[in-house]
A and B are shown apart, each in its own frame.
Chain A
Amino acid sequence: MALPSRVSPGAAALAVSFRRRTLADREDWLARLMLAPALLYVAALVGVPFVLALALAFSGARAGSLDFAWVGWHNFLTIIPDPQFQRAVWNTLRFTLVSQVLVIVLAVSAAYVLSAAFAGRRIVRFLLLLPWAAPVALAAIAWTWIFDSTFSVINWTFLVMGVTRRWLYWFGDPALATIAIITVHVWRMFPFATVITLAGMSSIPQEINEAAVVDGAGFWRRLFQVNLPLLLPIITVAVLFGVVFTSTDLSVVYLLTRGGPYNSTHVLASLAFQRGIFGGDLGQGAAVALFLLPVLVVVAVLMLRTARRAEVGT
């Protein structure tokens, strides 16, 4: 039945030469080989410093020397009654929560606007993304100039429009400084949340909304009973990212107010930097920074939950 020319001599010889499997075929070993460099790097340079962060918090280590004196709970006992520290904890929570609520509202609205077809949609999207793409330190310095104590363009506009009569010293007043910091965080994070929400929106099948229209649901009912529940997982992801980026950010507070006025706007990150690097008290700085950990653990747990729920959904 078989034609005589079926197996060419060359092919037959070759079939023998690479018959058995080699390392290049062994998927288990390839997996280890390909994963090892990345995992080792991350373990060495994230894992080790992470453990070191814990250890330093219990030490009297100072910048510039390599001493490592165990001081037990001393650093924590020093900072917990410290009003500046308490203020920093409160500020971190406040800035994060307020800015993220505003980010959600803005991002969902902006995503709705962008999902409608109109001329110039692409250019609007491009411009909306600018705040997120620009390096955060440069954006922060630009905002410092916008809120300048003598030349603030916002003040000029407010005075002309009659919003306010007195001159606003943005960084001289704790309440105004808070508004300024939150404004910058919102400005920076909402484009990112918009893009993610938009991606989520485009994954909602058009038929679901059409079916809801046929069933007589109006815009608000569709928004709250159809679209928002479907968008919830992806909005959660956007918010969780936002929480991480905002609560751990150093550059905005550092460049806008340096924690001022009268140390009223310090967040954990900036306080840790001031105590640990400027003040040279690495131990105390590490102890302050460690209080970010609960936030991160909560975020990580929520993130995993959302991922699992999304997995069940698909």
Chain B
Amino acid sequence: MTPRARRRLVRVVKRIALYAAALAFTLFAVFPFYWMFLTAFKQNRDLYVGGTVLSHIPWIFNAPPTMEHVELLFRQTLYLVWVKNTVLIGAAVVVITLLLAVPAGYALARLAGRWGERLGIGVFLTYLVPPTLLFIPFSRVITWLGLQNSQWALIVVYPTFTVPFCTWLMMGFFRSIPRDIEEQAMIDGYSRAAVVRKIVLPLGISGILTATIFAFTLVLQDFVYALTFISAVPKMTVSLGIPVALVRGDVFYWGSLMAACLITSIPIAVVYNLFIDRFIQGLTAGAVKG
């Protein structure tokens, strides 16, 4: 083999290895979603065939796909109620979060100086205090407030992690706005407060949008608090209702259950993906000194 041909071969092999690795990672990541998809649309006789029956290949549709599980989900379960609950709770939490986190993020980025940096790190560390450490005292606080089994409990509690997280995120975004522009506006005749309103907020709109999306997804992700505070099935969120209330004893609900998982996860994942770059940018902009 000539050296040139060998080099070409090496290149081709490398290329193949690259694609094989990419494929392996992708399959690992995607396979549960594919399984949700299959389960959601398979007929029961295709679905509930024991795994020891080696002649029946579970990875494909052996019988024509069906909509019966999806119909069951929408018609005979409380899925849509849970979606509505989640959206309402999410919207309320987003409003509270933005009202608190946007001003705080700006103050930490621009106004608070040296101790602002320390305070920023402190705020970030509170995000690391996990729900599993706080759900027990919270259950007592919620009892004090008389909010057991009320969605208000979640609306009050969720900002405890969305606010620190979004404050940190907004701090990063505000730091990435050039100082010059704000100082120019102050010289052009505006007070600091007016500069925030007329320059900083319009320029930070993409950051605010990112914070909104992530506050909402954090709400959707929660399982612990919902499990602790809410026991009435019609008041549950999707993240709680689907895994806890869709399973009924020994009746096989897997088709509808997986349909619910799929229908809930995919839109979130798509939106999440759209914002992930801005999100990383915000996080790292906060980490690097401005």
Do any CB atoms of chain A lie under 8 A from CB atoms of chain B in the complex?
Answer: yes
Give chain A's interface residues, CB within 8 Å of chain B. Answer: 21-28, 30-31, 33-35, 37-39, 41-42, 45-46, 48-50, 52-53, 56, 61, 63-64, 66, 106, 109-110, 113-114, 116, 118, 120-121, 124-143, 145-146, 148, 150-153, 155-157, 159-160, 167, 187, 191, 195-196, 199, 203, 237, 244, 248-251, 254-255, 268-269, 272-273, 276-277, 282, 285-286, 289-290, 292-293, 296, 299-300, 303-304, 307, 310-311, 314
What are 5 A-B contacts with C-beta separation under 8 Å?
A45-B157, A137-B242, A269-B132, A276-B136, A277-B227
> Which chain A residue lies CB-closest to B31?
A146
Which residues in window 88-131 of B have CB below 8 A to A? Answer: 99-101, 103-104, 106-108, 111-112, 116, 119, 121, 123, 125-126, 128-131
Residues of B within 8 A of A38 (CB): 100-101, 103-104, 123, 163, 167
Count A-B contacts at CB 8 Å: 294
Beyond A129-B273, A255-B243, is A113–B22 a contact (Cβ under 8 Å)? yes
Q: Is the CB of B141 within 8 A of A128?
A: no
Pick from A150, A187, A250, A277: contact of B29, CB below 8 A: A187
Residues of A within 8 A of B141 (CB): 48-49, 52
Taking the closest CB of chain B, its distance from the CB of A124, in whole angstroms, is 5
Taking the closest CB of chain B, its distance from the CB of A79, in whole angstroms, is 14
Q: In the bound complex, how far is the Cα of B101 from the Cα of A296, in angstroms?
A: 24
Chain B, interface residues (CB within 8 Å), range: 35 or more
Which residues in window 256-280 of B have CB below 8 A to A? Answer: 257-258, 260-261, 264-265, 268-269, 272-273, 276, 280
Taking the closest CB of chain B, its distance from the CB of A178, in whole angstroms, is 19
Q: In the bound complex, how far is the Cα of B130 from the Cα of A259, in angstroms?
A: 20
Q: Is the CB of B30 within 8 A of A130?
A: yes
Taking the closest CB of chain B, its distance from the CB of A309, in whole angstroms, is 12
Q: Does B178 contact A (CB under 8 A)?
A: no
Pick from B132, B135, B192, B243: contact of A30, CB below 8 A: B192
Q: Is the CB of B131 within 8 A of A34?
A: no
Q: Is the CB of B52 within 8 A of A167?
A: yes
Q: Does B159 contact A (CB under 8 A)?
A: yes
Q: Is the CB of B54 within 8 A of A304?
A: no
Q: In the bound complex, how far is the Cα of B193 from the Cα of A196, in angstroms?
A: 35
Beyond A31-B112, A49-B141, is A138–B136 a contact (Cβ under 8 Å)? no
Pick from B49, B54, B217: contact of A160, CB below 8 A: B54
Residues of A within 8 A of B108 (CB): 35
Beyond A133-B272, A142-B32, A244-B128, is A52–B137 a contact (Cβ under 8 Å)? yes
Q: In the bound complex, how far is the Cα of B106 from the Cα of A109, in angstroms?
A: 37
Q: Is the CB of B106 within 8 A of A34?
A: yes
| SS of B interface (majority) | helix
Residues of A within 8 A of B144 (CB): 66
Q: Does B209 contact A (CB under 8 A)?
A: no
Residues of A within 8 A of B111 (CB): 27-28, 30-31, 34
Q: Is the CB of B131 within 8 A of A248?
A: yes
Q: Is the CB of B123 within 8 A of A42?
A: yes
Q: Is the CB of A191 within 8 A of B29?
A: yes
Q: Is the CB of A124 within 8 A of B100?
A: no
Q: In the bound complex, how far is the Cα of B242 from the Cα of A299, in angstroms?
A: 33
Residues of B within 8 A of A148 (CB): 51
Q: In the bound complex, how far is the Cα of B287 from the Cα of A311, in angstroms?
A: 8
Residues of B within 8 A of A61 (CB): 140
Residues of A within 8 A of B224 (CB): 250-251, 269, 273
Beyond A53-B137, A129-B276, A272-B136, is A141–B99 a contact (Cβ under 8 Å)? no
Residues of B within 8 A of A282 (CB): 136, 139-140
> Which chain A residue lies CB-closest to B268?
A133
Of the listed stretches B3-11, B33-41, B66-74, chain A binds B33-41
Q: In the bound complex, how far is the Cα of B157 from the Cα of A160, in angstroms?
A: 49
Q: Is the CB of A142 within 8 A of B21?
A: no
What 8 pairs across the A-B complex have the smallest Cβ distances? A248-B130, A38-B104, A34-B103, A31-B111, A24-B193, A24-B191, A52-B137, A133-B272
Q: Is the CB of A35 within 8 A of B112?
A: yes
Q: In the bound complex, how far is the Cα of B254 from the Cα of A33, in angstroms?
A: 52
